[in-house]
Structures are given as structure tokens and as C-alpha cells.
């Protein structure tokens, strides 16, 4: 084949997760996550929950999307800061997460009601197979940063998670320790 893209190199700050130069940077604030948390009434709408750095790559199944996510430490009510979470729009597309910094949990769930909880920390490599929705949660006191690489045309289905939620939520227990709780409102 004759390639239609040129090779390139970008710089990832392994401590902060930031990607330099032409990365597309997007912030997700409390107001953007309204409805995802049990109760966000006490949280300032402008507070940044997480930041995404994405290297621009065509959305084709021959390509690999590369991005980092940085989730600030903190809670909304008793719930730890977390991403929206999604299925891939093309359900069978997989993804790899490499933990860079901080202390987190990766919550995974299938449409038939199974779930898994995996750690995210410096050096953790998590494989997210097709068909598993995924959400990351910062349970530590420092920013949680991870690198993700996934099939170029995976796409993001947020609507299914927005409607049904995940089977579990991560909250701070009475003793200050993170607790993975069944989510009573979750429907299959
Ligand atoms: C990640 C996520 C990122 C933010 O790059 O998109 O961590 O989470 P939400 O997209 O759920 O807000 C990924 O899994 N991409 O497919
Ligand atoms: Zn994904």
C-alpha cells in the first residue's frame, strides 16, 4: 500500500499526563456531568473534574486514537470524581489504558449486567475488550492520569450509560476509605 499519513512523534508529560503541541484539549466540568452523580447540588458548576488531551488522528478503523485523561482529586457529595463512562459506538472496538500517575479504579460493565473493577496506577496496563463500558474514578489525593489507545473508529456511546448508569458507584465510606457500592438505580 501507499501510506496516506506521515509518521509523527508527540511528547507526553509522564507526571501530569499532558500532551504537548497540537493535542485537542477538552475540559469536563461539574455542569457537563449533571445527572451522572447522585447529587451535584453542592458542587460549583465550573469546577473542572477532568481534562482530555487527544492527538488528532482520523476516525478510521485502520488508525489508533491516542489520548490522556487527567482526573482531578475530589468528590461530589460522597462520590469520587469520575468520568462519564461510555460504551464504544462500535461495540466490538477495544482499548488499552496505561496508568501514569495517581490512584484510581476502572469500572467496567457489560450490557447483560456483569461488572469488573480494576486498578489504575502508575504502570498499570488495563485491557478493555469490546462490549465493556468503561469509567475511571480518582480515589486518591493527587490527579489521576492515564494514557489510552483505541481503535480509530470506535466512537463513544454516552447515551446508554447516561440512561442506565453503571452497576456500581465508588463513594467515600464513613472511615474515609473508598467503597464500591451496588447502584440501586441501575437497570439492565
Ligand atoms: C478515554 C475516555 C476519557 C474520558 O479516552 O474518553 O477517559 O472519559 P469519557 O469519554 O467517558 O468522558 C476512552 O475510553 N476513550 O475511548
Ligand atoms: Zn473508550
* pLDDT at res. 4: 87
| 148 within ligand 1 shell (Cβ under 6 A) | yes
Which atom of ligand 1 sits closest to the CA of residue 50? 4
Residue with CA nearest ligand 1 atom 10? 85
Does residue 102 come out as left (phi exceeding 0), alpha (psi in the -120 to 50 range) or beta? left
Adjacent-strand bridge partners of 25? 53
Residue with CA nearest ligand 1 atom 3? 69
Give average pLDDT by consecutive 10-residue segment, the chain, 188 residues: 93 95 94 96 97 96 97 98 98 98 98 97 98 98 98 98 96 95 74
List the helix and strand counts (H, then E) for the chain: 1, 15
Which atom of ligand 1 sits closest to the CA of residue 128? 14
As given in the structure block, the three cell numbers for residue 34 are: 449533571
The whole-angstrom separation of Cα 125 and Cα 119 is 9
* pLDDT at res. 154: 98
Q: Cβ distance 21 to 10 under 8 Å?
A: yes
Q: Which CATH superfamily is domain 24-182 in?
A: Jelly Rolls (2.60.120.10)
* pLDDT at res. 172: 97
* pLDDT at res. 93: 98
| 85 within ligand 1 shell (Cβ under 6 A) | yes
| 52 within ligand 1 shell (Cβ under 6 A) | yes
Please provide the DSSP assignment of 34-81 as one string. TTTSS--TTS-TT-EEEEEEEE-----TTSEEEEEEEEPS-EETTEEP
| 165 within ligand 1 shell (Cβ under 6 A) | no
Adjacent-strand bridge partners of 125? 98
* pLDDT at res. 54: 97
As given in the structure block, the three cell numbers for residue 33 are: 456531568
Amino acid at each position: 500500500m501507499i501510506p496516506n499519513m506521515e509518521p509523527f512523534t508527540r511528547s507526553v508529560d509522564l507526571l501530569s499526563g499532558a500532551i504537548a503541541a497540537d493535542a485537542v484539549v477538552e475540559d469536563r466540568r461539574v455542569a457537563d456531568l449533571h445527572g451522572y452523580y447522585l447529587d451535584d447540588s453542592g458542587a460549583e458548576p465550573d469546577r473542572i473534574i477532568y481534562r482530555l488531551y487527544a492527538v488528532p488522528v482520523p476516525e478510521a478503523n485502520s488508525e489508533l486514537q491516542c489520548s490522556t485523561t487527567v482526573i482531578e482529586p475530589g468528590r461530589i457529595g460522597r462520590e469520587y470524581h469520575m468520568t462519564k463512562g461510555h460504551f464504544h459506538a462500535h461495540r466490538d472496538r477495544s482499548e488499552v489504558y496505561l496508568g501514569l500517575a495517581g490512584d484510581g479504579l476502572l469500572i467496567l460493565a457489560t450490557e447483560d449486567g456483569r461488572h469488573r473493577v480494576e486498578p489504575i496506577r502508575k504502570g498499570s496496563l488495563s485491557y478493555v475488550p469490546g462490549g465493556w463500558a468503561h469509567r475511571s474514578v480518582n480515589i486518591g489525593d493527587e490527579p489521576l492520569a492515564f494514557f489510552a489507545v483505541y481503535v480509530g473508529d470506535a466512537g463513544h456511546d454516552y447515551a446508554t450509560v447516561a440512561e442506565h448508569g453503571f452497576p456500581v458507584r465508588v463513594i467515600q465510606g464513613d472511615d474515609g476509605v473508598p467503597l464500591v457500592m451496588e447502584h440501586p438505580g441501575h437497570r439492565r
